[in-house]
């Protein structure tokens, strides 16, 4: 099973504490240095009190494409930090951090990437058709092409960092330390949601949107546990962020880009459709589709069962046979 892949490396609890520190420093310190340097360079000679600290203000100073590049770059450095922690601290091959299979199954990645890309793009286009007054054509060829290059290269690295860190490193680490599955599933899902708490969307929509973020984390965690690997979570997350960044933006979201459409709708009117339907309708339907395609069984054991060390697993098997 997926969490048990951690036993193929060194898995003492203190290694995970140190690993989290390494990852955080790579992501939030080293990775953020270029963004800080660019902001300082752009504001040389200005009163320090006028230097922006919020996302919108920084974006106005740097421009959306440069800000997006530098922001996504920090996640790419964070991903390197995850791999350094896995390989250096835990002696765990990246393959075992990714999947329980003998090799990474890219067919799984591309299946859900294409499926969710089509679904999410269709939702935006249908919404545009039904409520054209809520959208403005935002397409400008040159900045869009720059956005396209940045997005295609760096957004998969950003989403991969989040998956390898939450559904990979933390899921495995908490699982082998606490010896169960539901606690790491719950903790990583809540942690994933809280990571987005500083996003502009939360200020505009209120904390109710945390239902969407935490619900998304639960969905990604469940498909990781049920499929014994990160491939589906990596594909879904990459498609979700990439197609959103290219298709539609708004002046109150974390991803403010030179996308094709600008969303003019009032964020305070978001409710059932945008927050609750994905979590309580769309994600369960996706779970059903994936479970049929990949023949998932034994849901209770995979999501709520114990995590057993290989040596103890053999003892347990012998006891069951007696």
The pLDDT score that the predictor gives to residue 207 is 86
Strand intervals (E) in the chain: 135-137, 248-249, 261-263
- Predicted structure pTM score: 0.93
Q: What is the mean pLDDT of residues 225-253?
A: 93
State the Cα–Cα distance between residues 305 and 148, nearest whole angstrom.
Answer: 43
| pLDDT one-digit tens code per residue, 183-215 | 999 999 999 999 988 887 887 778 888 999 999
pLDDT score of 271 more than 70? no
Average per-residue pLDDT for the chain: 91
| Span of 95-104, 171-180, 267-276 with lowest mean pLDDT | 267-276
CA distances in angstroms from 34 to 1, 19, 96, 190, 279, listed in the order given: 39, 23, 32, 29, 36
240 three-state secondary structure? helix
Task: List the one residue out of 264, 256, 263, 265 whose CA is nearest residue 143.
Answer: 256
C-beta separation of 242 from 113 below 8 A: no
Q: What is the mean pLDDT of residues 75-98?
A: 97
User: 């869009």: which residue's tokens?
Assistant: 144
State the Cα–Cα distance between residues 240 and 72, nearest whole angstrom.
Answer: 15
Q: Alpha-carbon torsion 102, 107, 108, 110, what sign? A: positive
137 bridge partner residues: 261
pLDDT score of 295 more than 80? yes
Cα 49 to its chain centre, rounded Å, is 34
| pLDDT one-digit tens code per residue, 14-42 | 999 999 999 999 999 999 999 999 998 88
pLDDT score of 139 more than 80? yes
State the Cα–Cα distance between residues 140 and 249, nearest whole angstrom.
Answer: 14
């Amino acid at each position: 099973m997926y969490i048990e892949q951690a036993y193929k490396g060194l898995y003492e609890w203190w290694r995970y504490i140190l690993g989290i520190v390494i990852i955080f420093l790579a992501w939030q310190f080293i990775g953020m240095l270029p963004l800080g340097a660019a902001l300082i360079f752009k504001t040389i000679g200005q009163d320090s009190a006028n230097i922006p600290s919020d996302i919108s203000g920084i974006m106005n100073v740097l421009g959306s494409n440069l800000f997006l590049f530098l922001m996504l770059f920090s996640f790419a450095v964070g991903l390197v930090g995850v791999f350094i922690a896995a390989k250096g601290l835990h002696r765990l091959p990246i393959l075992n951090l990714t999947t329980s299979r003998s090799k990474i199954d890219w067919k799984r990645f591309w299946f859900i990437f294409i499926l969710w890309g089509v679904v999410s793009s269709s939702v935006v286009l249908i919404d545009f058709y039904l409520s054209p007054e809520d959208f403005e054509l935002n397409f400008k060829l040159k900045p869009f092409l720059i956005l396209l290059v940045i997005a295609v290269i760096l957004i998969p690295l950003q989403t991969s960092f989040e998956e390898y860190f939450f559904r990979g490193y933390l899921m495995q680490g908490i699982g082998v330390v606490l010896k169960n599955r539901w606690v790491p599933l719950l903790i990583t899902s809540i942690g994933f949601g809280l990571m987005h708490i500083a996003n502009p969307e939360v200020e505009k929509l209120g904390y109710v949107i945390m239902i969407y973020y935490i619900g998304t984390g639960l969905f990604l965690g469940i498909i990781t546990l049920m499929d014994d690997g990160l491939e589906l979570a990596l594909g879904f997350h990459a498609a979700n962020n990439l197609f959103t960044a290219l298709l539609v933006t708004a002046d109150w979201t974390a991803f403010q880009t030179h996308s094709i459409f600008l969303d003019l709708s009032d964020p305070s009117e978001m409710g059932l459709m945008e927050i609750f339907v994905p979590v309580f309708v769309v994600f369960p339907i996706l779970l059903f589709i994936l479970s049929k395609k990949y023949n998932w069984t034994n849901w209770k054991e995979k999501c709520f069962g114990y995590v057993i060390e290989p040596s103890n697993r053999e003892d347990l098997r012998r006891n069951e046979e007696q």
